């Protein structure tokens, strides 16, 4: 008789120094189910899954697979027992090909040629059965985010994983890619596989899962039948209080124009246009949202306005004065009050091996408050601690390496660094990517408070809910062009979706 539970954890406990990451966690995943796991950043979700997949050893407790107690000493043990994991930050070697990444850890013995041929045959079957085609000889460095996630899934499916763990799988996907992923997960469930979905997006949990468990402060505080719960109930269980799932903001009349971009053109190293005559204005006390599918020029627009990329044509004026190219330097723009929260917090906003206090200093190390000739470590740590307390970064330890924080807490550290510098203009990309419900509420309140204090904000987000909630004006981008402008009260997700596809009225 088959076991009722594909995976069980019993009384799993794990400490990192003084931090209790998991505290007696009991979790049961029914065979053939999709089970959601939600909780605030730092609640212990990723730690629990890392223990389950053999990255960490538990201090105490038991793991059972199909009812049998097992020892997970390494990811190799987990894979041999039928587990596969797709990480929030992909575990791929960019300089290697797709097939080489898939073969890592499953090379097939000394004769790599035979192992590669076997993997190619399996990939052909998976492409046919699941529409997961990726060129096996392509370099990972040249793949889109969606294709990289396919490679991660293929790594698990090539090994015939019966339990799939997905950590924030949609945080970097387009709506269309998300829909395709969910269709695939339902199909895998129909074949008898069990799936654990870690996500902060409650709408996805309610749409996809059969059951959902909530973690708070290292414990499971409740498991709910998805059909019998609600976003409000889950959010309250996650945070321990009622949470406003939609930010409220009053009407506001924009002030003076503080930034003007005209006919910005930017081509990539391949010669393909990334920005095609893009023009926009920002006014004090206004939030302008940029909506669009990732890869349509939003990232490049932020880079140009932040001084990280120099356009081939067009002009940028700041506070009424056109900027010559030498003045469009990130340091000089910061000195004038232009702060930037990059979309890729790990690649461009932080240095993961650095202490948190050092990451919180990036771009501002020359400030007199941190010393003249030599940096004042005590002042740097005190400054970081103040930022952590103001933005509820957990754990509030300035000397912990940046890589030791969850993705959401890394995001809050970047936001604290830029927002607490009193910007006049804030350029912000994906402010709540991978961030929990309680932190989203806090971040949205901070952005609205800045707007009400007269800050001009350019907000790029792939979350249409976020754009509709925060923006006073919405610009839509497609293929490097602005295809339309809308007021949030006079549009809909469908209307924005048409503009995002380049088939709205303006595009026509």
How do strand 425-429 and strand 456-460 relate by DSSP bridges? Answer: parallel
> How sure is the predictor about 17, in pLDDT bands with cuts at 50, 70 and 90?
confident
Report whether 338 contacts 319 (CB < 8 A).
no
Give tens-digit pLDDT for 345-364. 888 999 999 999 999 999 99
- Tell me, what's the pLDDT at 508? 37
**In angstroms, rounded to a whole number, what is the distance separating the alpha carbons of residues 72 and 2?**
21
d(CA 120, CA 168): 28
Order of strands, sheet of 473-478, starting from the edge strand that comes earlier in the sequence: 338-341, 425-429, 456-460, 286-291, 473-478, 481-486
State pLDDT tens for residues 376-396.
999 999 999 999 999 989 889
Is residue 294 very low, low, confident or very high in pLDDT (cuts 50, 70, 90)? confident
Query: What is the per-residue pLDDT across 31-44, written as a single tens digit (0 to 9) for each?
Result: 999 999 999 877 89
Residue 116 clears pLDDT 90, i.e. is over it: no
pLDDT for position 398: 96
Between 171 and 466, whose confidence is greater? 466
Taken in order 186, 187, 190, 196, the sign of the CA dihedral is negative
Residue 238 neighbours by CB under 8 Å, 6+ apart: 38, 39, 40, 43, 214, 215, 216, 436, 437, 438
pLDDT band at 399 (very low <50, low <70, confident <90, very high): very high
Residue 108 is predicted with a pLDDT of 55
Q: What is the pLDDT of residue 480?
A: 94
Res. 134: pLDDT tops 90? no
Mean pLDDT of 147-158: 87
Q: Give the integer Cα–Cα distance in Å for 479 and 496.
A: 15
- Please give the residue that has the higher pLDDT: either 43 or 284: 284
Q: Write down the pLDDT at residue 504.
A: 61
pLDDT in tens, 45-82: 989 999 999 999 999 999 999 999 999 999 989 999 99
Nearest CA-CA partner of 217 in 240, 199, 198: 240
**450 and 426 Cβ atoms separated by less than 8 Å:** yes
Q: For residue 90, name the pLDDT band (cuts at 50, 70, 90).
A: confident
Strand boundaries in 256-382, DSSP class E = 257-267, 273-283, 286-291, 313-318, 321-322, 338-341
Measured between its terminal Cα atoms, the distance across the chain in Å is: 61
Residue 295 above 50 pLDDT?
yes
pLDDT of amino acid 1: 52
Mean of the per-residue pLDDT values of the chain: 89
- For residue 175, pLDDT over 80 is answered with no
Angstrom distance (rounded) from CA 282 to CA 255: 9
Rounded to 5°, the CA angle 262-275-502 comes to 105
Residue that the structure tokens 């076997």 belong to: 118
Q: For residue range 417-466, what is the model confidence (pLDDT) as tens digits?
A: 999 999 999 999 999 887 878 888 889 999 999 999 999 999 999 888 89
pLDDT digits (tens, 9 = 90+) for 215-253: 999 999 999 999 999 999 999 999 888 887 777 788 888
Phi, psi for 93 (deg, rounded to 5): -95, 110
* pLDDT of the residue at 113: 58
Count the alpha carbons within 13 Å of 103 in the hemisphere toward its beta carbon.
22
Largest CA-CA distance found in the chain, in angstroms, rounded: 76
- The pLDDT value recorded for residue 104 is 82
Domain 5-239 matches domain 245-337+422-508 at the CATH topology level:
yes
Rounded Cα distance, 413 and 349, in Å: 9
Residue 28, SS3 per DSSP: strand
Q: Rounded CA gap, 363 and 390, in Å?
A: 20
The 3-state DSSP class for residue 163 equals strand
- Going by pLDDT thresholds of 50, 70 and 90, the confidence category of residue 112 is low
Average pLDDT in the 402-419 region?
Answer: 90
pLDDT at 482: 95
Neighbouring C-beta atoms of residue 243, cutoff 10 Å: 17
**What kind of fold does domain 245-337+422-508 have according to CATH?**
Rossmann fold (3.40.50)
Residue range 276-283: average pLDDT?
A: 97
Res 114 pLDDT > 60: no
Beta carbons of 413 and 346 less than 8 angstroms apart: no
pLDDT at 246: 76
Element (H, E) at 222: strand 219-225
pLDDT surpasses 80 at 174: no
More confident residue, 172 or 168: 168
> pLDDT for 191-218, tens place per residue?
999 999 998 889 899 999 999 999 999 9
What CATH architecture applies to the domain 5-239?
A: 3-Layer(aba) Sandwich (3.40)
pLDDT-based confidence at residue 507 (cuts at 50, 70, 90): very low
Q: What pLDDT is stored for residue 110 in this prediction?
A: 45
What percent of the chain is predicted at pLDDT more than 90?
61
| E strands in 409-472 | 425-429, 456-460
pTM: 0.74
Report the pLDDT value the prediction gives residue 462, as an integer from 0 to 100.
83
The domains of the chain are located at 5-239, 245-337+422-508, 350-421
């Amino acid at each position: 008789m088959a076991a009722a539970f594909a995976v069980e954890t019993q009384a799993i406990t794990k400490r990192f120094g003084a931090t209790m990451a998991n505290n007696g966690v009991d979790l049961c995943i029914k065979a053939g189910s999709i089970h959601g796991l939600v909780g605030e950043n730092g609640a212990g979700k990723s730690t629990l899954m890392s223990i389950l997949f053999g990255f960490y050893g538990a201090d105490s407790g038991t793991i059972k697979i199909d009812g049998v107690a097992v020892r997970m000493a390494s990811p190799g043990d987990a894979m041999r027992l039928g587990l596969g994991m797709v990480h929030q930050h992909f575990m791929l070697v960019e300089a290697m090909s797709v097939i080489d990444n898939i073969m890592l850890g499953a090379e097939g013995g000394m004769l790599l040629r035979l192992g590669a041929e076997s993997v190619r045959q399996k990939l052909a079957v998976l492409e046919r059965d699941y529409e997961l085609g990726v060129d096996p000889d392509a370099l990972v460095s040249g793949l889109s985010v969606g294709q990289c996630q396919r490679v991660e899934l293929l790594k698990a499916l090539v090994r015939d994983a019966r339990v799939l763990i997905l950590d924030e799988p949609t945080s970097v996907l387009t709506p269309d890619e998300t829909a395709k992923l969910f269709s695939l997960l339902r199909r895998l469930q129909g074949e008898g596989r069990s799936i654990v979905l870690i996500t902060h997006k409650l709408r996805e949990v309610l749409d996809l899962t059969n059951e959902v468990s909530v973690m708070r402060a290292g414990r499971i505080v409740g498991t709910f039948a998805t059909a019998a719960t609600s976003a409000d109930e889950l959010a309250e269980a996650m945070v321990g209080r009622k949470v406003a799932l939609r930010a409220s903001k009053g009407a506001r009349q924009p002030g003076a124009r503080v930034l003007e971009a005209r006919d910005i053109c930017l081509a990539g190293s391949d010669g393909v246009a990334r920005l095609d005559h893009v023009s926009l204005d920002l006014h004090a006390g206004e939030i302008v949202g940029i909506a669009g599918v990732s890869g349509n020029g939003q990232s490049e627009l932020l880079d140009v306005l932040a001084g990280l990329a120099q356009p081939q044509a067009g002009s940028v004026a700041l506070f009424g004065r056109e900027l010559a190219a030498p003045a469009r330097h990130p340091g000089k723009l910061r000195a004038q009050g232009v702060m930037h929260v990059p979309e890729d917090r790990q690649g461009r906003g932080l240095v993961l091996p650095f202490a948190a206090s050092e990451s919180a200093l990036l771009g501002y190390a020359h400030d007199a408050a941190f010393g003249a000739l030599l940096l004042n470590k005590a002042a740097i740590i005190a400054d970081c601690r103040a930022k952590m307390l103001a933005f509820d970064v957990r754990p509030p330890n300035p000397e912990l390496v940046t890589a030791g924080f969850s993705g959401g807490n890394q995001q809050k550290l970047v936001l604290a660094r830029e927002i607490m510098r009193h910007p006049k203009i804030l350029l912000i990309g994906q402010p709540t990517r991978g961030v929990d419900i309680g932190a989203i509420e806090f971040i949205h309140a901070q952005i609205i408070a800045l707007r009400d204090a007269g800050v001009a904000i350019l907000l790029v987000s792939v979350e249409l809910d976020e754009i509709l909630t925060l923006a006073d004006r919405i610009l839509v981008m497609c293929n490097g062009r602005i295809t339309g402008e809308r007021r949030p009260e006079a549009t809909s997700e469908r209307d924005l979706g048409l503009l995002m596809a380049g088939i709205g009225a303006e595009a026509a």
